[in-house]
Amino acid sequence: MFHVCRETIRLRLPYRYGGEHPDEGGMDCSGTVQWVCRHLGYQSVPRTADDQYRWLKSERTVRKGRASDPGIWKRLRPGHLLFWK
């Protein structure tokens, strides 16, 4: 995963709302997540953050937590995704 992220960073792409491919001149957050995941072999990753949350929840990979809980911040690792309401 890290090698795909590093290669994406080296492209020095700007934030572009709705962008989902480097050839578009930039990507937004959920577009970047989708781009990285596709390069790792996950072809069914949804496009939007809301749909990505629902997809991960259906796969039972979502862990709920409260931002006020200091322990949750200590458990975060590179590659973790954060979703909030």
List Cα–Cα distances, 61 to 41, 53, 82, in angstroms: 17, 9, 12
pLDDT, position 56:
92
* 17 CB-side CA count, 13 A: 0
**pLDDT averaged over every residue in the chain:** 91
Predicted confidence (pLDDT) at residue 27 exceeds the cutoff of 80: yes
Is the pTM higher than 0.85? The answer reads no
Strand partners, 15: 27
Q: DSSP 3-state assignment of 21?
A: strand
Residue 1 has pLDDT above 80, yes or no: no
pLDDT digits (tens, 9 = 90+) for 31-67: 999 999 998 999 999 999 999 999 999 989 888 888 8
